[in-house]
């Protein structure tokens, strides 16, 4: 007897229902990636409605940003942490695309973010990229681009050296070194553009700051940042 693949998929689905990666509930028919409850109740920051939000404040006096945004608040042991875990370590790239779509819908309504021309993901360590097979920030960027009139430029901002050997250094010299970790390979492509720099989680902001300082060397470039989550 031949079993068709869709029949087999349905059967496997009955035995092992797909679970919401945020709350663990079984996904119902028609629910994709995350459940409807999580889709509406995960903790939105609504930073796109508050220009002087807590992430924007972290950059005051350091780098000039047009706007700073995070989709969710991140709490230890919370649903957003579960979601990020599946996204980064379980190969669920579709989470990044979905969250990019949700964030993009919010940003498309904002005067500041709707003028973004180019979306640039923070580059991943080569070693990590090899292990994981994808850069999670690029997935988020792709999802954002589907909802904004912007294109993703993955590869213009590059890591020129690894930060992994620096852990023994003092905090200050680590930060000094950090700035030299990133470089812009084709600055002319970014002249006069509004660039949205994206990363998965913002905590201290030191990686985003180091990338921003390199990007802002480009003539006439305006910069905003967006992340999936903000962790205090």
Closest to Zn ion by CB, 80 or 120: 80
Among 38, 63, 107, 229, binds Zn ion (CB under 5 A): 38
Which SS3 state, helix, strand or coil, does residue 224 take?
strand
Closest to Zn ion by CB, 40 or 172: 40
Among 2, 10, 13, 23, binds Zn ion (CB under 5 A): 23
**Cα 111 to Cα 18, 95, 115, 148, 153, distances in angstroms:** 38, 26, 7, 12, 22
Q: Does 80 bind Zn ion (CB under 5 A)?
A: no
- Tell me the HSE value of 103 on the side-chain side, using a 13 A CA sphere: 30
Phi and psi of 28, rounded to 5°?
-85, 165
Stretch that binds Zn ion, among 22-30, 169-177, 182-190, 203-211 (CB under 5 A): 22-30
Nearest distance from residue 226's CB to Zn ion, in Å?
Answer: 23
Nearest distance from residue 146's CB to Zn ion, in Å?
Answer: 22
Q: Extract long-range pairs of 36-39: CB within 8 Å, 24+ residues apart.
A: 38/79, 38/83, 39/102
- Tell me the HSE value of 46 on the side-chain side, using a 13 A CA sphere: 5
Q: Does 139 bind Zn ion (CB under 5 A)?
A: no
Residues near Zn ion (CB under 5 A), total: 5
Nearest distance from residue 84's CB to Zn ion, in Å?
Answer: 14
Closest to Zn ion by CB, 20 or 198: 20
Closest to Zn ion by CB, 18 or 114: 18
141: exposed, middle or buried (Cβ count in 10 Å: 0-12, 13-18, 19+): buried
- Residues lying near Zn ion in the complex (CB under 5 A) are found at 20, 22-23, 35, 38
């Amino acid at each position: 007897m031949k079993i068709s693949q869709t029949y087999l998929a349905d059967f496997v689905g009955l035995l092992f229902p797909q679970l919401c990666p945020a709350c663990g509930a079984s996904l119902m028919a028609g629910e994709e990636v995350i459940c409807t409850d999580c889709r509406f109740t995960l903790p939105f920051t609504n930073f796109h409605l508050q220009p002087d939000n807590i992430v924007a404040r972290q950059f005051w006096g350091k780098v000039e940003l047009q706007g700073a945004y995070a989709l969710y608040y991140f709490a230890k042991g919370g649903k957003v942490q579960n979601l990020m875990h599946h996204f980064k370590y379980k190969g669920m790239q579709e989470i990044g695309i979905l969250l990019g779509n949700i964030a993009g819908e919010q940003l498309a309504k904002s005067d500041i973010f709707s003028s973004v021309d180019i979306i640039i993901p923070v580059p991943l360590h080569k070693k990590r990229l090899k292990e994981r097979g994808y850069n999670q920030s690029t997935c988020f960027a792709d999802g954002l681009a589907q909802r904004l009139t912007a294109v993703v430029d993955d590869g213009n901002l590059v890591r020129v050296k690894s930060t992994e050997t620096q852990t023994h250094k003092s905090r200050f010299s680590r930060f000094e070194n950090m700035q030299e970790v990133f470089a812009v390979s084709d600055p002319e492509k970014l002249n006069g553009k509004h660039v949205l720099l994206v990363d998965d989680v913002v905590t201290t902001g030191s990686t985003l700051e180091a990338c921003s300082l390199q990007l802002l060397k480009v003539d006439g470039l305006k910069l905003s940042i967006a992340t999936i989550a903000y962790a205090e």
